[in-house]
Every structure is written in structure tokens, then in C-alpha cells.
């Protein structure tokens, strides 16, 4: 039996909490928002059983990892530096890097900035995109007009924190449900069809029945951690989007040579409105994207068996 172990290591000046399982070639698993290492609870033992050392950290500002105080401490360069320093702390020269949501963005960036350290990549739910012609928040403000947008809603420090912290279990439950496959077209409505003055959580109904992939114990773990830490660490990642654009001017401008895998749910808006075939211009060694029917944004939690099988097949192919 591959039991998940926990420890804290020093990474890039932070005390970083890790959950890990198994031994063998290193696979790093980077979560998104509002998530934690716990989002990989199904993958850690499966990868360990397949012969890998699977490590899922709480990223900076999340869970039991230190949260630096300034918004500027959550830029993409900081997250990439954490990933590289984590390899060093684990005594590993290279690793396969896997990420979901914002973690997927970090995978694409780290692979480009440090190709010698990350030899293969797997991204869940967020495809690789070329560099935008203008800062992304600036472009979003023009594009969305009077419509609500999550990314813009999260920009002002304190606003989303107050909304989510008023009832943390409700906030976590509704956000995870709202973008899941169980919610059907609700995610499209939330991301494209609401007025700018929307109070986000008021637009997401309670799940009509318990979610088969998210137990009461799962929700309790997320809620307990976010009640303790607050949501600022994750939200600050959104607040660095334009800063990243200026600070990393060559990012997403040249092809990645590593073998890569992309997995997503068919009901994820990134799939509905994205051009997955266009990724090949920047990721020429991309395997055929895997899109799971009926799944939403939280793919490794909603469909763990299929995600595990795809990851293990990919890892075996690139070993």
C-alpha cells in the first residue's frame, strides 16, 4: 500500500509543505485555485504504485506552506523559482512536471524557462497559449465591457477575500461545483453572461445532490485549510497577470521541445472556447489532447481513474 507521507522542506526561502508517495523518477504535481495538494489525493498513490516518486506541494500562500506578504510575491517567476528550488531540495536533477489550473500555467512557463530541469510536461485544463499582444488584464477589460469576469473580479485586493471568507465552506463548495461537469452549462453562464456588478457566489446554486467526486470529508479538508489561511495567496496569483507580462517579455514566444500531454474536461470553458490544435505551434511534441466527455474543470478530482491512466501511460512512454 502506498501511503501518502507529509513533511516540510525549505524551498526558495519558504517553509513548503509536501505530500508525497512512492519512490523512483520524480513527478511534481502543482495545484490551482481554490485548491491544495489535496487536489492530487487520487494521483499520489496511483503514481507511486506505478513506480514513481510523486510529490504534491501546497504552493506558496496555500495550505501549510508559507505565504509571503506582498502581492508582488506571487508572480510567475516566483512560482517557477519555487518549482526549481523544490527539485534541489529533493536532490533531483530533473522531474516530470504536472499542473492543473494555475499550476498548468506554471508548467508551461517552467518548461520554457528551465528546459534542462523539466524533461516532460502534463497540463490539465489550461492549454498553452501564445503571448498576448497587450497585458492580459488590460485586454480583458476591453473585451468584457460591462460583463462580469472572474479574473477581473479577483484583481482588487480584499474584494473577493471578503466574499469568500464570509462563509468559507459555502464558497469552496459553490466554486468547485460551479465549474464542474455536474453543473453542465453553468460555467459558461458564470464566465460569459453576467453583468459586471454580479456578486459571484449568489449566481451559483447549491448542488442539487451530493457530488460523487467531492465527499463531505473532502470539502471539510479544503474548508478547514482556507478558514485558517484565507484566500489571499491564491487570489494574488491572478493579480500578477499584467506584471508577469511585463516581467517575462519572452515567455510563450518560442516552442517547447519536451514531450507533453494535455488533458481536459469537455465541459471546461477552456476547451469549449479554446483552440487545442493551435498548441502544436508552441508544443510540437504534444501528444493528442485527451478530452473527457462530461467532465468539467476539476478533472483530476472528477475523473481520477481516467486521469491516472493517462498520466501513467504518458510517464511510461517518456521514461
In whole angstroms, give the CA distance from residue 194 to residue 197: 8
Half-sphere exposure of 280 (CA within 13 A, CB side): 5
Task: State in Å, rounded, how far the first CA of the chain is from the last one.
Answer: 23
Helix axes 76-89, 102-113, angle to 10 degrees: 70
Q: Which of 28, 212, 180, 223 is nearest to 107 (CA)?
A: 28
Catalytic residue among 66, 78, 82, 101: 101
Half-sphere exposure of 6 (CA within 13 A, CB side): 9
DSSP state of 131: P
- For residue 247, the SS3 value is helix
Strand-pair category, 118-124 with 260-265: parallel
- For residue 89, the SS3 value is helix
Is 297 noted as a catalytic residue in this protein? yes
In whole angstroms, give the CA distance from residue 103 to residue 32: 5
- For residue 179, the SS3 value is coil
Classify each residue of 24-55 as buried b or exposed e, where b means 16 or more C-beta atoms within 10 Å of its C-beta. ebbbbbbbbbbbbbbbbbbbbbbbbebebbbb
In whole angstroms, give the CA distance from residue 30 to residue 120: 14
Is 218 noted as a catalytic residue in this protein? no
Query: What is the set of active-site residues?
Result: 101, 297
Amino acid at each position: 500500500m502506498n501511503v501518502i507521507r507529509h513533511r516540510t522542506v525549505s524551498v526558495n526561502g519558504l517553509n513548503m509543505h509536501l505530500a508525497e508517495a512512492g519512490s523512483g523518477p520524480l513527478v511534481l504535481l502543482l495545484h490551482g485555485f481554490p485548491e491544495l495538494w489535496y487536489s492530487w489525493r487520487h494521483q499520489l498513490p496511483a503514481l507511486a504504485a506505478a513506480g514513481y516518486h510523486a510529490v504534491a506541494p501546497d504552493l506558496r500562500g496555500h495550505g501549510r506552506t508559507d505565504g509571503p506578504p506582498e502581492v508582488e510575491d506571487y508572480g510567475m517567476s516566483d512560482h517557477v523559482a519555487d518549482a526549481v528550488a523544490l527539485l534541489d531540495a529533493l536532490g533531483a536533477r530533473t522531474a516530470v512536471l504536472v499542473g492543473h489550473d494555475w499550476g498548468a500555467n506554471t508548467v508551461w512557463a517552467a518548461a520554457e524557462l528551465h528546459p534542462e530541469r523539466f524533461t516532460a510536461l502534463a497540463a490539465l485544463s489550461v492549454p498553452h497559449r501564445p503571448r498576448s499582444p497587450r497585458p492580459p488584464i488590460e485586454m480583458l477589460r476591453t473585451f468584457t465591457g460591462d460583463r462580469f469576469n472572474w479574473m477581473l473580479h479577483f484583481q482588487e485586493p480584499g474584494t473577493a477575500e471578503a466574499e469568500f471568507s464570509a462563509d468559507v465552506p459555502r464558497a469552496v463548495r459553490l466554486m468547485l461545483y460551479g465549474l464542474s461537469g455536474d453543473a453542465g452549462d453553468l460555467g459558461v453562464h458564470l464566465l460569459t453572461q453576467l453583468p459586471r456588478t454580479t456578486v459571484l457566489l449568489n449566481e451559483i446554486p447549491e448542488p442539487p445532490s451530493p457530488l460523487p467526486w467531492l465527499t463531505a470529508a473532502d470539502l471539510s479538508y479544503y474548508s478547514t485549510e482556507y478558514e485558517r489561511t484565507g484566500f489571499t495567496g491564491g487570489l494574488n496569483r491572478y493579480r500578477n497577470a499584467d506584471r508577469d507580462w511585463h516581467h517575462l517579455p519572452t515567455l510563450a514566444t518560442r516552442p517547447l521541445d519536451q514531450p507533453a500531454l494535455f488533458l481536459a474536461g469537455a465541459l471546461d470553458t477552456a476547451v469549449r472556447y479554446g483552440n487545442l490544435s493551435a498548441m502544436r505551434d508552441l508544443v510540437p511534441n504534444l501528444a493528442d489532447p485527451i478530452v473527457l466527455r462530461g467532465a468539467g474543470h476539476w478533472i483530476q478530482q472528477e475523473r481520477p481513474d481516467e486521469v491516472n491512466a493517462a498520466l501513467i501511460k504518458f510517464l511510461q512512454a517518456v521514461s
